[in-house]
Structure 1
Amino acid sequence: MTFISPTKHADVVLIGGGIMSATLGAFIKQLEPNWTISMFERLDEPGQESSDPWNNAGTGHAALCELNYSPAAKDGTVDATKALVINEQFQLSRQFWSHLVDNSLIGSPKGFINTVPHMSFVIGDSHADFLKARHESLSSHTLFRSMQYSEDHSQIAKWAPLIVKGRDPQQRVAATYAPEGTDIDFGSLTRELTTYLGDNGVDINYGHDVSGIKRASDGGWDLSIKHPRSGERSSIHAKFVFVGAGGGALHLLQASGIPESKGYGGFPVSGQFFRCTDEDLAAQHTAKVYGQASVGAPPMSVPHLDTRYVNGKRSLLFGPYAGFSTNFLKNGSYLDLPLSIRPGNIIPMLAVAKDNMDLTTYLIKEVAKRHGDKVEALREYYPEAQDGDWELITAGQRVQIIKKDPKKGGILQFGTEVIAARDGSIGALLGASPGASTAVPIMIELLQKAFPKNFKGWQGKLKDMMPGYGVKLDDNLDLAVDIEKSTAASLQLESVTTSR
């Protein structure tokens, strides 16, 4: 643990030791190696909140299995627009991670990423019809060309035997299968990135809480720092500040007073997962199998049965079971939500409460759900599941964005949003899914907003690190194939060579 001096200066201060701050730090260290950077994390290790592997599902979100990224239109067709955007974003993440591995800036990729096929699985006629239409829409695109579709129980059993074993053979089911899917331990990746930063001159401070932020006379920012255990207090001056504190970002963004922060609120959603660490059972399932969310459920509550690799060990995860808590961080305070209310966000928050009664009803039902009901939900995806094989664990907190809307007064946004001051001196990230999987393109967006004068000069270096940067891979089959092969080799993933 590093104890900070009473007063010092930095070109860049990163608040939070999760995947977002670590990714931004890695970019800046590559683009401007002489800039001074300080990172402050309130916990004693990096990646302990939303980035921790047991606080998220570890899905390499590329829209291969997440049905909410490809909604159905009234005429029965499926809109692939959002799915394509998310897949393109994930390709950038793969390229940046490959660059770091190829240049020995981080360790073995096996420590944080593994090939785990992605599947969508649905039950019933209407859901099967939708999934078939989705497959027809997505598989016509370069980035989804490997996706397979089947309603045959025996074929689905080859892909994921546990979801078929014990199931009524007459029940209509449907599944898609994307062999290039991945499982990612974002906690491990965060530790690799912070180790790289620490080894290359970044001042990393664990167990230090940024308790205050105010504008300095020179246009930069003065941050108040405290060490909760020792009571030590100090300050640091920064030219640029990134608030990457997960659910804790909203409070600091509000404290900054920048006009761009006005009107934002947060809606916290907690969750639980069933975890199975029986290695014999885990060996029978190699996939991330996503279903459809219940009516009124937030997209992050889509049920899924996943293969996980954490600390080199294989296990299974099922969930999530959504809940509600007023804290914005898993290690936060129950006062987080009430203390986030401001005159500028009361109307948006009230409008969201009025317009999302179905979500409120859903969360109440989830909180009241008994253990037996949760097991029955598991058995919809794994019919022969035995209660004794699974333990219930608490996941990380997700804070969904509430923002102003000229028509509705306020809307609840399920996604991520980059917020930056007009002068580029401070930036923050709010929101949740797809989150960590798209940390790379999200941080590129932040760099563009915060450093517009520098950004043009960084283009060549960004292109060197990510050959697909600035290119729509879905429109470039040859380049897409080359990049998929090269990143698979660098990250030690199984290569998918399917051509259209």
Structure 2
Amino acid sequence: MTEEFDAVLIGGGVMSATLGMLLSELEPGWRIAVVERLDEAGLESSSAWNNAGTGHAGLCEFNYTPRRPDGSVDVSRAVEIGEQFSASLLFWAHLAAAGVLGSPRDFVRSVPHSGFGRGPDGVAHLRGRYEGLRGHPLFADQEFSDDPAVLRDWLPLMFDGRNAGEEVAVTRSARGTDVGFGVLTRRLLAALRSRGGTVALGHEVRAMRRSGSGWTLDVRVRTTGEDSRLRAPNVFVGAGGGTLPLLQRAGVPEVRRYGAFPISGQFLRTARADLVAAHRAKVYGHADPGAPTISVPHLDHRTVDGREHLVFGPFAAFSPRFLRTGRRSDLLRSVRPGNVGVLAASARDNRSLMAYLVRQVAQTSRARTTALRTFVPTVDPGDWELVTAGQRVQVLKMTGARRGAMVGFGTELVSSAGGSLTALLGASPGASTAVATMVDVLAAGFPGRMAGWSARLAEIAGNRSDLADLTARTHMARRVLGLGPDGEGRS
């Protein structure tokens, strides 16, 4: 038998959970299903230990503010991400005020965000970043300092015992956050279920095909092998690393020339109480000369399941799987006649990145400790353990006539069959900008309904074209979430 829905969302991560709740706000009478292959939601990229938990708002990340050839800094991407994160805060606050998310402290806390510049070039980049952002209201609280006494006060773990002759500087924003995206995902899906939505855990979509003006999905219960069939006029695929293989099997023409390359991440982690107490911040540095932007190091305060940790990384590793729970054959199975040229061009045009990945895979524990020492001069290797974080799949595509590009940051929105099928590929800033990204998905998947939905979307997720209103409402949302200037919600 075939079960009918108005929308089926594939993947039980924060993206599908966000889209499901947005649809439930816009169309309360719709039948919405979320299908997840694992026995619990939010266990892949949304899981606490499979991402850094940073509420990416452009407050500290060098890779979102590149230097131009003349030395000036382009801050436009950081501003865009800051505005997108505001949309997430507004939507979470709306749901929290309605009493459907439980205590916000369970999934979001205030943790200052800092940028860390080292050496003349790093300090100049950081200063240019600060000057470019300080006039924007979402970045108005940023501070800049190169005074050793101030830096020791802000970040004692990083600046006690540091060489006095080293040229360093730091920016600091108290508006930063640490987000438990796994907890948030499960709260969103529980709220969707309470509104009549279907959340099918342990169900794997085996095949997907056009059916009239919509789509038919063949689904299997993983524990029993029982098969079922779903049909909907609109389908969204937000299955992380599982998205591209599913689209390929469905013969979606828009991804015929896409390739994919999996990258696993590792972090050094400690729960030693005195170290955690001396570093209550997320601090992002800059990539070393010649290193790719995906190598940006950061030292983060994390709270997971009520316990505080510090994590440092990332260190790249390699696995041919597209998901942590995927198959070793995932990479090989993704190679198709239509994307061989893209794969070859990407290997040719990203040689420095490939060389970096090879060095990272061969890296010794001593080399990882040396990298950590640039942030923590007094590091004792015995206090830290190496942990494997989530699996990311970088999208490979052609840009221009011949160049193969690796889409390392941002998300790739795919729309097919007149918008009846939408899908999301890519990673950072990912979960932080889920609400704004899902509004884009709504526009691609339901173009005829957006005019009727626009007022409601502005009410629950803000209007980026009205900066004054967005700023004021963001401030109110932070207070609802316990992230106000009075210090509530601090780790």
Q: So what's the TM-score if we normalise by structure 1?
A: 0.94
In the alignment, does 2:120 pair up with 1:130? no
Alignment partners' CA distance in 2, 1:370 and 1:94:
40
Query: More deviation in 482-491 or 403-412?
Result: 403-412
Deviation at residue 471 of structure 1 after TM alignment: 2.2
Query: More deviation in 307-316 or 186-195?
Result: 307-316
- Cα separation, partners in 2 of 1:104 and 1:278, compared to 1, 3 Å: same
In the alignment, does 2:312 pair up with 1:318? yes
Alignment partners' CA distance in 1, 2:464 and 2:283:
31
1:44 alignment partner AA: D
Deviation at residue 239 of structure 1 after TM alignment: 1.4
Equivalence map 1:336-351=2 (5 Å):
336-351=330-345
Q: Size of the alignment, in residue pairs?
A: 486
Equivalence map 1:225-374=2 (5 Å):
225-295=219-289, 297-374=291-368
Alignment partners' CA distance in 1, 2:192 and 2:274:
38
Residues 356-403 of structure 1: CA deviation (Å, up to 9, x unaligned): 111111011111111121112111101112222211111001111112
> Is residue 202–residue 221 contact of structure 2 (8 Å, CA) maintained in 1?
yes
Residues 186-232 of structure 1: CA deviation (Å, up to 9, x unaligned): 0010011011111111111111111111111x221111111233222
> What secondary structure is seen at the aligned counterpart in 1 of 2:338?
coil
In the alignment, does 2:421 pair up with 1:431? no
Query: More deviation in 260-269 or 77-86?
Result: 260-269
Q: Percent identity?
A: 46
- Cα separation, partners in 2 of 1:62 and 1:77, compared to 1, 3 Å: same
Residues 239-264 of structure 1: CA deviation (Å, up to 9, x unaligned): 11111100100011122223322211
Given the alignment, which residue of 172, 190, 195 partners 2:190? 195
> What secondary structure is seen at the aligned counterpart in 1 of 2:188?
helix
Q: Give the CA RMSD over aligned residues.
A: 1.5
> Is residue 266–residue 400 contact of structure 1 (8 Å, CA) maintained in 2?
yes
User: Residue 29 of structure 1 aligns with which residue?
Assistant: 24
> Is residue 296–residue 359 contact of structure 1 (8 Å, CA) maintained in 2?
no
- Cα separation, partners in 2 of 1:223 and 1:298, compared to 1, 3 Å: farther
> Is residue 235–residue 421 contact of structure 2 (8 Å, CA) maintained in 1?
yes
Deviation at residue 408 of structure 1 after TM alignment: 2.7
Given the alignment, which residue of 162, 169, 185 partners 2:157? 162
- Cα separation, partners in 2 of 1:439 and 1:30, compared to 1, 3 Å: same
User: Any runs of at least 4 consecutive aligned residues in structure 1 with deviations exceeding 6 A, and if so which?
Assistant: none
User: Residue 391 of structure 2 aligns with which residue?
Assistant: 397
> Is residue 222–residue 238 contact of structure 1 (8 Å, CA) maintained in 2?
yes
User: Residue 441 of structure 2 aligns with which residue?
Assistant: 446
Task: Structure 1: give runs of 5+ residues left out of the alignment.
Answer: 1-5
Alignment partners' CA distance in 2, 1:154 and 1:429:
46
Equivalence map 1:53-68=2 (5 Å):
53-68=48-63
Residues 49-106 of structure 1: CA deviation (Å, up to 9, x unaligned): 0000100000010111100111111111111111111111111111111111011121
User: Residue 482 of structure 2 aligns with which residue?
Assistant: 492
> Is residue 485–residue 496 contact of structure 1 (8 Å, CA) maintained in 2?
no
Deviation at residue 285 of structure 1 after TM alignment: 1.0
In the alignment, does 2:454 pair up with 1:459? yes
User: Residue 404 of structure 2 aligns with which residue?
Assistant: 410
Q: So what's the TM-score if we normalise by structure 2?
A: 0.96
Deviation at residue 297 of structure 1 after TM alignment: 4.3
Alignment partners' CA distance in 2, 1:470 and 1:290:
26
Alignment partners' CA distance in 2, 1:73 and 1:406:
21
- Cα separation, partners in 2 of 1:461 and 1:481, compared to 1, 3 Å: closer
> Is residue 42–residue 185 contact of structure 2 (8 Å, CA) maintained in 1?
yes
In the alignment, does 2:166 pair up with 1:171? yes
In the alignment, does 2:86 pair up with 1:91? yes
Given the alignment, which residue of 195, 204, 207 partners 1:209? 204
